[in-house]
Amino acid sequence: MCKRKFIVKKGMYDKSKYESYRKFRETIAKTDNSKIVITKA
């Protein structure tokens, strides 16, 4: 089991960077929901 924390600090952020932030969060969500298989070589 893996545990992690994502912290977003309060503040004003440039709206031009929102799209890349949204894609970053989408990538995290997809990765979190993926399944992996661990095999012994």
1-41 pLDDT, tens digit per residue, is: 677 888 989 999 899 999 999 999 999 889 888 888 889 98
Per-residue pLDDT, 1: 67
pTM: predicted TM-score of the whole model, two decimal places: 0.61
Those residues with Cβ within 8 angstroms of residue 6's Cβ, 6 or more apart along the chain or in another chain? 28
Largest CA distance in the chain: 49
What is the DSSP annotation of 9-37? --S---GGGHHHHHHHHHHHHHHHH----
Per-residue pLDDT, 5: 87
**Closest by alpha carbon to 2, among 22, 40, 38, 26?**
38
CA atoms within 13 A on the CB side of 15: 0
